[in-house]
Structure 1
Amino acid sequence: MNIEEAVKAVKEPDGAAAREAARRWDRVAKPLNSLGELERDVIRIAGAQGSSTISIGRKAIVVMCADNGIVEEGVTQTGQAVTAIVAENMAAGRSCVCLMAERAGADVIPVDVGMASCSPVKGVLWRRVASGTRNFRKEAAMSREEAVQAIETGIAIACELKAKGYELAGSGEMGIGNTTTSSAVLSTLLNVEPELVTGRGAGLTSAGYRRKVQVIKEGLALHRPDRRDPVDVLAKVGGLDLAALAGFYIGCGLCRMPVVLDGLITAAGALAAVGICPKVKGYLLASHRSAEPAGGIALDALGLTPVIQAGMCLGEGTGAAACFPLLDMAAAVYGQMSSFEEIQVEQYQHLQ
């Protein structure tokens, strides 16, 4: 399905289902709103799924893997060969997100949408659009056609998950250099200076950090991406992983499947998705507030409050993996706990 068709087909979350879920929480025999953001997330899940009887039994974390030409500019501590190495570890179940997801009862699905390795990596879903992006300090990261193809790839992957019976998705990424692309995208979409949304990534010296900011500024000055057109922004200074993530969120909205964000990079993709299709916002859940400075800024722009404050900034979808058990616990309370009526106790009332 192409972008235009998908965007037209995405429906607003079901307000009636969300309201009924809120009423159900009020009847659960515990103090009102005492599970905080977890209650609000269950309500969002009900609206996304279109039913107050929520179901989040089968879960998967989709990890978009891609390389970024901007690493030529010395904005990272490691080389882009690490992307394929980590993706291979994901396929073998050895990476951080896999170990965490196993405990959370979730599957991890690494996807090659743009790695620079010469051949497919065993166990990694092959959906490669190009073998990495170009150096956006010198030329556009990709063509508009490549960005569109990556977005549509993400849409298709979400639809494939839904067809296989998954009920709750998580999102992650792997790509050396993608905090630089994410900062460039966020700087444009939020119309703020790069310094505000740029951090040290996986570890940069102060000189390296200054270089990273300068590279982003020079790339933005060269290409002047149009923040009213997120596809243009992704193509000029983004990455194939970001574009695929944006499409994945649109696809989740299309399939009425709630999706949990990880940190900074997945939030940057989500902002692009919401810019393309505003209705997608109602299908998004925030796992944690990233230690990267732009992580909280991006969530605030999306109007999302995370359930975890742990200083995490690992990526890979680890935030979603950490969040899933909390959502399972909240769903158990929501669906199984007695009501005030059942235990014959007067129900709490909302006070002014």
Structure 2
Amino acid sequence: MSFLKDSIKKIKAPDKIMYEAAKERLRNQARPVGSLGILEDVSARLAGIFRKIDVNLDKKIIITCAGDHGVCAEGVSLFPSEVTRQMVYNFVNGGASVSVLAAHAGADVKAADLGVDWDFEPDLPVFHKKVRKGTGNFAVEPAMTLEQAEKSVEAGIEIVGELVAKGPVHLLGTGDMGIGNTTPSTAIISVYSGLPAAQLTGRGTGIDDDAIKKKIAVIEKGLALHKPDPKNPLDVLSKIGGLEIGGLAGLVIGAAVYGIPVVCDGFIATAGALIGCEIAPPARDYLFASHNSAEIGHRFMLKHLGLTPLLDLGFRLGEGTGAALAMELIDASTRILADIKTFEEVGISDAQ
């Protein structure tokens, strides 16, 4: 049995009884029923995951998976691929957007090299999980082999295991870095939504009208050439995906294996979550969506996963920035459940 299949078998469902107990407490709190909206269900889901009412998210970390994309040769991005490696160093040095927002949320950030086209120093403090140096150009060849796709997912699972081996992790955020990665992400949601690329393709880092036409054509060409099978998520990942997308899928699966709630960032992180939940459907119970990205295809990903995003701020950066901000709301939800008094506790009877 492969490491991936063995890992999936270890996923346990959250505690339904505790989830219902949390919902009952929320209904009986001294305020109108449902008045705190989405955060009520978030808090109840966390109670089910941790199997207790009073949840404390003391240890939070965001893993930003990085990888390069051969499809950049088609001119689908505004920036050159060299920016991917440069940003990895920026994460290490704490100068990136996610570094600042994560610090505000009380979360650590660590980058993971899944497929950057660069040889990082062995002692650089990142997760060294390189499967290969960048994907192939899926407009002319598969992005990677099936074996490499599986290895990228397993690398994400391994990262969670390595984190847990060093101490408890209470909330995991996922983020991405990879120039050109909105192109494979759009291709992935086209496969799973059945919608044409033209209806799903956004501007990524800010490409102009001519470039977006080219981007649509590239995605259409890749889908027609490879015919990825939505019933086989590893087939989809290997043909039109990205190495960091595979790593992100593995993080979602790994979080579920270890009973850790995971909040995914925007478009690319959700593409990884989608692949992860297609590979391991039980992982969906541990997944939270941070925000609604400005990228067009993201809403269709969230719909496919049945997730309601916590924020809608017009973000389209990636890195884990949306996940960092959402962590503060998720943290607040735990206090809503545990600390707001019920009518009985404050001596008001039959108020509801």
- The TM-score by the shorter chain falls in which range? over 0.9
1:76 maps to amino acid: S
Q: Tell me how far 1:187 sits from its aligned partner.
A: 0.8
Residue pairs, 1:287-298, within 5 angstroms: 287-298=290-301
Q: Write out per-residue CA displacement over residues 115-137 of structure 1, whole angstroms, 9 at most, x where no aligned residue.
A: 00133382322111111111111
One-letter amino acid matched to 1:325? E
Q: CA deviation at 1:46?
A: 1.8
1:88, 1:124 within 8 Å by CA — same for their partners in 2?
A: no
Question: Which SS does the other structure have where 1:293 is aligned?
Answer: coil
Q: State the secondary structure of the residue aligned to 2:297.
A: helix
Q: Distance in 2 between matches of 1:150 and 1:213?
A: 26
- Are 2:62 and 1:44 aligned? no
Q: Write the letter of the residue equivalent to 1:191.
A: G
- Tell me what 1:160 maps to: 162
Matched residue, 2:330: 327
Q: Is the 8 A contact 2:74 2:218 kept in 1?
A: yes
* 1:110 matched residue in structure 2: 111
> Helix, strand or coil: the match of 2:325?
helix
CA distance in 2, matches of 1:331, 1:347: 25
Let me know the Cα RMSD of the aligned residues: 1.4
State the one-letter code of the partner of 2:148.
Answer: E
How far, CA to CA, are the matches of 2:201 and 2:350 in structure 1? 48
Q: Which moved more, 1:114-123 or 1:7-16?
A: 114-123
Q: Percent identity of the aligned residues?
A: 39
The aligned counterpart of 1:234 is 237
Distance (Å, rounded) in 2 between the aligned partners of 1:319 and 1:348: 38
Q: Hey, what does 1:254 align to over in structure 2?
A: 257
Amino acid at match of 1:175: G
- Report the equivalent of 2:153: 151
The correspondence for 2:289, drawn from 283, 286, 291, is 286
1:190 to 168, 188, 193: 193
Aligned mate of 2:137, from 114, 117, 135: 135
CA contact (8 A) 1:189 1:230 kept: no
Instruction: Look up the equivalent residue of 1:90 and give its one-letter code.
Output: F
Q: Which residue in 2 is equivalent to 1:95? A: 96
Distance in 1, matches of 2:300 and 2:177, equals 21
**What is the rounded CA distance, in whole Å, between the counterparts of 1:209 and 1:347 in structure 2?**
59
Structure 1 contact 289–308 (Cα < 8 Å) conserved: yes
Give the TM-score of the pair, scaled to structure 2.
Answer: 0.96
CA distance in 2, matches of 1:187, 1:335: 41
Contact 1:27 1:347 in 2 (8 A): no
* Runs of 5+ unmatched residues, structure 1: none
Change (3 A) 1:347 1:153: farther
Cross-structure match for 1:126? 128
* Residue deviations 1:169-202 (CA, integer Å, cap 9, x gap): 1110000010001011111122221122211101
Q: Report how far residue 87 of structure 1 moved.
A: 1.1
Aligned pair in 2 of structure 1 residues 326, 347: CA closer, same or farther (>3 Å)? farther
Q: Is the 8 A contact 2:44 2:337 kept in 1?
A: no
User: What is the deviation of 1:27?
Assistant: 2.7
The residue number in structure 1 matching 2:219 is: 216
Aligned-residue offset at 1:90? 0.7
The CA deviation at 1:160 is 2.3
Partner of 1:70: 71
Deviation at 1:347, TM superposition (A): 4.9
**How many angstroms apart in 1 are the aligned matches of 2:351 and 2:82?**
57
Letter in 2 for 1:61: I
69-78 or 114-123: which moved more?
114-123
Structure 1 residue 348: deviation in Å?
A: 4.5
SS state of the match for residue 153, structure 2? helix
Q: One-letter code of the match for 2:311?
A: I
Matched, 1:340 2:343: yes
Residue 296 of structure 1 deviates from its aligned partner by: 1.2
SS of 2:318 mapped into structure 1: coil
User: Structure 1 length as normaliser, TM-score?
Assistant: 0.96
The alignment of Structure 1 onto Structure 2 pairs a total of residues equal to: 349
C-alpha separation between the residues in 2 aligned to 1:304 and 1:347?
A: 33
For structure 2, the residue ranges without an aligned partner over 5 or more in a row are none
Residue 266 of structure 2 is matched in structure 1 by 263
